[in-house]
Structure 1
Amino acid sequence: MSIIPKKLAKTMKSDRVSAIWIIPIVTLIIGVWMLYSHFADQGQRFTLIAHDASGIVAGKTVIKSRSVEVGIVENVTLSEDYKQVVIEGQIYKGMQALLNNDSVFWIVKPQIGREGITGLGTLLSGVYIELISGNDKETFNNKPFNLLDSPPLSGPADAGIRVNLESDQSGVIPRGASVMFRGFKVGSVETSDFDIDSRKMKYQLFIAKPYDRLVTQNVRFWKEGGVNLSLSPKGASLEVPSLDVLLSGGISFDVPEGSKFGDPVTTLTTYKLYEDKKSIKDSQYTDYTEFLLFFTDSISGLSEGAPVEYRGIRLGTVSEVPFYNDPMMSKTSILSYNIPVLIRIEPGRLSDLIDGQIDLAGLIMKEQKNGLRAALKSSNLFTGALYVDLDFYSDLDDKYNENETKQYGFETIATVPAGLSQLQAKLIQTLDNFNKLPLDQTINEFNKSLQKSQELMASLTTIVNSKEMQNLPKDIKATIESLNSTLKSVQPGSTLNNQLKADLQKFEQVMDQLNPLLETLNDKSNSLIFAAPKKEDPQPKAKGN
């Protein structure tokens, strides 16, 4: 057995890197590059909030702007309270400028609306989300957007002006209805909502440029729609709007007649929405004096806005029907006095007719001593509408009670019953007088007279039916024939008539001969015994004697 000497191994430290690390290093570099490339190629991410996700599929539903694909939907989930849908999307790289804080998104799908049928192309390709870029160029704040069910009527980048309207009237003007100026469409209704707190309808209108210059401080907005038939002393007037306005309604605006346009307004200025065009003229009379009237007649047919006139000239407007305030309710019962009505006397209505200012309220208070009174009169026989008429009544001169010039904090105008009420009172008085007549006694006397008349008629019937009465016509006929023969005998040309004429002529001759004798006897009654004195012949007298 040989003995081999043992040697110890020596260890040495190497400065070279092992080639085995090349592969993981290269793999790491490729992974980092791919990760960077993935995030670098990604665009801006955003979030949409919707009521439902009908037709939206993650990874398939695209986002378009002007029919160009600019993004895609990545994820669709429910919110934490499960009441909304949260849609996460991404805008492609290079398209991030489209995403601003005021951008608008809506879903495009088949719909039937006022403009007809839209979105038919999505029946084959599926729904997609449309994007309109906004004007807000500030840094994107990543706040969620609301996904609309229908396209907006105007984009955030459209030039124009937006105004707000408030209305306490019944009826709703739908979104998309036309906004018109003198019949020409200049905008549309963007939103239509009901405010529960104020209990008013609130609208937002968009009026496109250049028509936004028509919206000034003095314009008034009113509702359009429906057929308007009005009757006036000038005749009947029928206004029929366009078919679009007739079906869905609309809003018009203009300045009241005779007013100027005024200064421009800023966006989102709030206006009042009036019922019709006629009522906007009343809105310009802001200077007025209130008067309180108490009527004994029924106020059925008298409504707020009815005119107050003096012999056909409008002086004011009925403000409230009926009118009650705390002093009234605290002093007496609501049924213990006449019906109170509050009116407004507006002197500006006379300024359109007469130059200069007139103290119309003071004049009314003064003229009540001379018989000026208020009465209810009918303005339309078909509708039964009433108005307040001021006029002078001569029988009421110096009968005004000055202690009643002011009641419950308002100046008052004394009233008289309406003409119809006066006629009704006279008719009732006539009927009362008729009821006081002794009709029973009169009817009894009439019945007795009627009974005697019947007895007389019976007697006459007996006489007529008698033989003497039946022979009477024959005797009358014979008498008439005899009288006719006699009359014929004395007619001109008959023998009797000629004989009568001859006898009359002879009678005249005899009278001519007897005339001197009668004159002599008249002068001396005894001339038949003693000779009558001779008379001298009459001598002619000279001229002038």
Structure 2
Amino acid sequence: MVTTSKLAKIIKIRAISAIWIIPIVTAVVGLWIIYSHYADRGTPFTLLAKDASGIVAGKTVIKNRSVDVGIVDEVTLSDDYNQVVVKGRIYNDMKPLLKNDSIFWVVKPEIGRDGVTGLNTILSGVYIELASGNDTHSFKNNPFILSDTPPLSDPSIKGIRLNLESDQNGVVPRGASVMFHGYRVGNVETSQFDVGSRKMKYQIFITQPYDALVTQNVRFWKEGGINLTLSSMGASLNVPSLDVLLSGGISFDLPDGSKLGAPAEQYSVYKLYENKKSIQDSQYTEYKEFLIMLSDSISGLSEGAPVEYHGIRLGTVSKVPFYTPEMLEQSSILNQKVPVLIRIEPDRLSELVDQKIDIATLIMDEQKNGLRASLKTSNMFTGALYIDLDFYSDLKNKYDVKKSKQFGYDTIDTTSTGIAQIQAKIIQLLDNFNNLPLNNTMSQFNKSLASSERLMNSINQIMASKEMQNMPKDLQKAMHSLNETMKGLQPGSDLNNQMKESLQKVQQMMDELTPLLNTLNDKSNALIFSAPNKKDQEPKAKGTK
């Protein structure tokens, strides 16, 4: 019996089963989701702050012009526990906003000079504002400083930043206006005192297109307060805007007659002057110093006062008083005239004439013709004085050449004039009037009246006697005329009363002038400036000194 065997059918199995497709697809999708999640997180950055008040990780957003551009991921302390480290990220589509010079600050409710801001954060909570910068380099991911206050100038705004230095009293606060001809063109960004140099230092920002107004020859000065100017032309009152009046400000301009100069560079350093008047004097850098010795009181003469000739300003008072060790060695400070140092500035005359004038040499030569320096009053209300140069015919050819140079300085001889001479003449007149023997005159006048009364009695007795009847008629007429004349001088008559009233008025006037004379002896210029009040003497117990 023959049997037939069946061959086994071999089936080839596939390498990967179809059942694995679902897990693989799921894994790929998961990886894509993870990649998309981290890719969409945006660009990370780090902020450093003093505290984290109101900042919550995963909740506090980062905004730019009220649009969400990022979020805070983590809030921790630094390794030394001295700072708060805030880690956040900027969304990918907002990445161009993040630059190396970007600025971050916390927005919260605040009351400032611009009013109330950040009220919308009362319900939504604080947020971080981002202001993009101007840097064009690639982002380096260096930590940023998170400020508590917004910047005064958006870093994206173009303009020029300058540094100012001041050694004057008074502070211009941060946020004050920077003005040109009264128009606001910028603001003060920082205001701080430098202990090393003992100066106030400011950083100001002037926006485009006004930054073109700033050149190397401009001058900056402080604004603020009410400026009242009294001059021969009258009174001038300058009241600034309310903003400047309350918080101050800074103005800049070219001094009169100054050239424009080259454009200023970023962060250039300028001096901040006290007022606009002082910037005009700052352009006169060339000068010749002279020494003058004044015998009059210098009360009212200050540094910066003008030196004039017939109203034309020639220079400035440099130092009041001006003492050197050599001066004090030669004579006591109480036994010499008061030295004052002045500057003659030739450039002031160059504004009036085209050619250069050697005014310093001219002043020295003209002293032999009577040119002298003297103190004069520039303002009767404030008592301010100035130095006046003028010719005096009585001093011609009386100049001592040996005194042309003293203590190493060319010297201008001086003379007393103006208010000093007027005071001296008034005091001399009052002293002479006070020395009149009015008391003796009154006594002699009273004696004369008594003698006249006795003479009247004798004449009356003669007129009533029998001998009068036997006198010649001419003699009788003469006696009658004398009798009538004496009646006009006797007590109770009009002439007698008028003479008494006149003498009483003279005596009363002298009593009223006595306090004035005493005051003038204490302060010679009390006719114009008020004298200091004297304290009443306190009574002392008997036996004490």
Preserved contact between residue 218 and residue 253 of structure 2 (Cα < 8 Å)? yes
3-state SS in 1 of match to 2:211: helix
The one-letter amino acid of 1:450's match is N
3-state SS in 1 of match to 2:157: coil
**Partner of 1:169 in structure 2?**
168
**Partner of 2:322 in structure 1?**
323
Preserved contact between residue 63 and residue 69 of structure 2 (Cα < 8 Å)? yes
3-state SS in 2 of match to 1:379: strand
State the identity as a percent. 65
**Partner of 1:504 in structure 2?**
none
User: Using a 3 Å threshold, how does the CA distance of structure 1 residues 64 and 377 change in structure 2: closer, same or farther?
Assistant: same
User: Using a 3 Å threshold, how does the CA distance of structure 1 residues 249 and 461 change in structure 2: closer, same or farther?
Assistant: farther
Preserved contact between residue 377 and residue 418 of structure 2 (Cα < 8 Å)? no
User: Using a 3 Å threshold, how does the CA distance of structure 1 residues 428 and 240 change in structure 2: closer, same or farther?
Assistant: closer
The one-letter amino acid of 1:104's match is I
Preserved contact between residue 297 and residue 418 of structure 1 (Cα < 8 Å)? no
Q: 1-side partners of 2:457 and 2:165: how far apart? A: 90
1:468 deviates by 6.9
Preserved contact between residue 257 and residue 351 of structure 2 (Cα < 8 Å)? no
**Partner of 1:456 in structure 2?**
452
**Partner of 2:202 in structure 1?**
203
The one-letter amino acid of 2:239's match is V
Preserved contact between residue 287 and residue 345 of structure 2 (Cα < 8 Å)? yes
The one-letter amino acid of 1:338's match is K
Q: 2-side partners of 1:466 and 1:38: how far apart? A: 148
Preserved contact between residue 377 and residue 419 of structure 2 (Cα < 8 Å)? no
- Paired residues for 1:96-495 under 5 Å: 96-325=95-324, 327-328=326-327, 334-426=333-425, 439=437, 443=439, 447-457=443-453, 460=456
Q: 2-side partners of 1:337 and 1:86: how far apart? A: 71
- Paired residues for 1:520-535 under 5 Å: none
- Paired residues for 1:501-540 under 5 Å: none
1:456 deviates by 2.6
Preserved contact between residue 320 and residue 341 of structure 2 (Cα < 8 Å)? yes
- Return the TM-score normalized by structure 2: 0.74
User: Using a 3 Å threshold, how does the CA distance of structure 1 residues 155 and 427 change in structure 2: closer, same or farther?
Assistant: same
**Partner of 2:533 in structure 1?**
none
Q: 2-side partners of 1:460 and 1:427: how far apart? A: 45
Q: 2-side partners of 1:127 and 1:106: how far apart? A: 10
Q: 2-side partners of 1:334 and 1:376: how far apart? A: 20
Which runs of 5 or more residues in structure 1 are unaligned?
Answer: 1-15, 470-545
Preserved contact between residue 307 and residue 315 of structure 2 (Cα < 8 Å)? yes
Preserved contact between residue 163 and residue 267 of structure 2 (Cα < 8 Å)? yes
Query: Root-mean-square deviation (CA), in Å?
Result: 3.6
Deviation sequence 1:314-350 (CA, Å, 0-9, x none): 1111122223445546666555543222211111211
3-state SS in 2 of match to 1:377: strand
The one-letter amino acid of 2:75's match is V
1:462 deviates by 9.6
The one-letter amino acid of 2:163's match is N
1:445 deviates by 7.0
Deviation sequence 1:108-150 (CA, Å, 0-9, x none): 1112222221111111101111001111122333332222222
Bigger shift: residues 420-429 or 186-195:
420-429
2:71 pairs with 1:72: yes
**Partner of 2:44 in structure 1?**
45
The one-letter amino acid of 1:313's match is I
**Partner of 2:11 in structure 1?**
none
User: Using a 3 Å threshold, how does the CA distance of structure 1 residues 140 and 449 change in structure 2: closer, same or farther?
Assistant: same
- Return the TM-score normalized by structure 1: 0.74
Larger Rg: 1
User: Using a 3 Å threshold, how does the CA distance of structure 1 residues 466 and 246 change in structure 2: closer, same or farther?
Assistant: farther
Instruction: Kindly tell me the number of residue pairs found equivalent between the two proteins.
Output: 452
Preserved contact between residue 376 and residue 417 of structure 1 (Cα < 8 Å)? yes
Q: 2-side partners of 1:36 and 1:464: how far apart? A: 147
